[in-house]
Amino acid sequence: MAPSHVVKCCQRGLSWIPVIFINLVVCWSYYAYVVELCIFIYLLVFHVFFFMFIWSYWKTIISKPASPSKEFCLPKVDKELYEKEENPEAQQEILKRVARNLPIYTRTGSGAIRYCDCCQLIKPDRCHHCSTCDRCVLKMDHHCPWVNNCVGFSNYKFFVLFLVYSMLYCVYIAATVLQYFIKFWTNHLPDTHAKFHVLFLFFVAAMFFISILSLFSYHLWLVGKNRTTIEAFRAPVFRNGPDKNGFTLGFRKNVTQVFGDQKKYWCLPIYSSLGDGYTFPTRLVNADSEQGNVEHQVIKCTVDGQTNPRPLSESQNHLLGNDMHSEEQKESSPTNIEVCQPVSITIVNES
């Protein structure tokens, strides 16, 4: 027991090495640019990019990954039955019975209920277990060693902004140092120790900019498609089968889901994402005949230290937009009262 605890402590300590490395590089770049070069006309913009980069970077690091609440855990009686049962089919029947009261629409590749044996809970849609963090993470994208944290529902916006501002920080340094870099190679730069800072500043900034640009472009594509990194490699499975575009609502609504509906907060690492992390509007389903009545359930989601209970259907209704509400108004209008027939609502696929 003790050796395994020591190993875990060592792993946790080693996991901070990439974060320490990034912070050391940033501190050196600040010293080299501000102290050694000291180009006054460039310092104002430099400090803006530097501040936003540090802010978004550390928001990504310190934001605790959101995990499923106790509502997704099996009740005590069902948990005992599940653990005693050895037949996988019988275990699935237990999970299906519990899942009828939960807003779950995705399945495993074989069509089974997604259950985490480590956390002992039914996984919400887009939730996955992180072996590094040893927990289930809502809308998990990936585990990033450079921030020593899981990137998911609670901090995905911060992660994207971290990529944006780190890219701007690097390209700004490279662009403003370029003229001195050219003077260095043409021997027109004074022979001081500052010239070595100029040399390494340009190379490091250009190298990081190229690598971050490719990563940012990929995540910008993911945001536009409303996919996570996991879903890009393994499409989510619905009742009708796998569909990589199952959560796509159109580019504008996809971006709004991550950055929020108030554009004044888009560029700031302040939490403004829409939804609760448990339910997501899809273009495939709006109601599942196998699900129970989940409209009046309330699940608490804690993000940035704030616990806000909200109806499970709130994020869906908010993001589906006016199209869905206009259909509901037509159905409830006086002209439609005379005919009482079942009405089915279909969400049209957006290309």
**CA angle in degrees (0–180, nearest 5) for 10-12-13:** 65
In what helix (H) or strand (E) does residue 121 lie, and over which residues does it extend?
strand 121-122
Burial group, residue 162, by CB count within 10 angstroms (0-12, 13-18, 19+): buried
- Whether 10 is catalytic: no
Quickly count: other Cβ atoms within 10 Å of residue 258's Cβ: 21
- Which of 130, 136, 144, 150 is catalytic? The answer is 144
Inter-residue contact 298 to 311 (CB < 8 Å): yes
241 vs 107, 108, 112, CA distance in Å?
Answer: 9, 10, 12
Q: Which two tokens stand for residue 175?
A: 């662009």
Helical ranges in the chain per DSSP H? 2-14, 17-30, 40-62, 76-84, 88-99, 156-185, 194-225, 229-233, 251-259, 314-320, 322-332
In whole angstroms, give the CA distance from residue 284 to residue 239. Answer: 10
**What are the catalytic residues?**
144
